Copies of this chain bind each other. A is one copy, B any other.
């Protein structure tokens, strides 16, 4: 995920331009702007679509969420290039990995990460993606959410 210009954690993405030929074309353009040269490793297609959501206020927005599994090598390439992205230091303040474990104290790791400040539906989308991509079993996700709410 990324620390955004507004001080919240979120996913890379953005609004579709009139020039974009499709949702996916617009998303891949945004990924290149925000993630830099390594973004080609996470080129997104219709097959990576996960869910949509509607926001009524302060503006009417329809959002579409995509997620994709990367190899560790692709992730490292992405991280290495991110500081050279056009939007680095402007829209994007830095890239962070999400801890996919809970420490022995029952809170450190994913539960504590979920206590950060997320934009819009990003926290729910993170949990959805971790389930959909098979990165964490559903019962472990639910445990982490409960621990984060204590």
Give Cα A6–Cα B109 distance, bound, in whole angstroms: 4
Residue A8 CB within 8 A of the other chain: yes
Contact A113 B117 (CB under 8 A): yes
Q: Which residues of B contact A79 (CB under 8 A)?
A: 83, 88, 94
Proximity string of chain A (105-119) to chain B, C-beta cutoff 8 Å, 1 when within and 0 when not:
000111111111100
Q: Which residues of B contact A111 (CB under 8 A)?
A: 7
Residue A3 CB within 8 A of the other chain: yes
Give Cα A88–Cα B80 distance, bound, in whole angstroms: 11
User: Which listed segment binds B: A21-29, A45-53, A60-68, A96-104?
Assistant: A96-104
Contact A6 B96 (CB under 8 A): no
Contact A94 B93 (CB under 8 A): no
